[in-house]
Structure 1
């Protein structure tokens, strides 16, 4: 248990509302951010596994 988890939709939505991202712009923003977040979580997991093997 523990560790990092994906950024929640509510955080993306709040950011988009603050900066006026709507419609297609929001959909692109969400897709890109989720892709970045997924890669970050993969990186963090690999780093944790490498540290555990030491």
Structure 2
């Protein structure tokens, strides 16, 4: 079947999707992803607050 490779990948547990508590800023993996790109998450819509 076309979906067999996907099902096998999910069943392996390798590369699991990180989970995190609702209302939090997300899993540590999200920060590491952006750090690789020399970026960071915005925690405010006000650019002046982000510079502080």
Tell me the TM-score normalised to structure 2 length: 0.24
More helix per residue: 1
Tell me the TM-score normalised to structure 1 length: 0.24
Q: Give the number of the structure whose alpha-carbon radius of gyration is greater.
A: 2
Structure of greater relative contact order (alpha carbons < 8 Å, 6+ residues apart)? 1
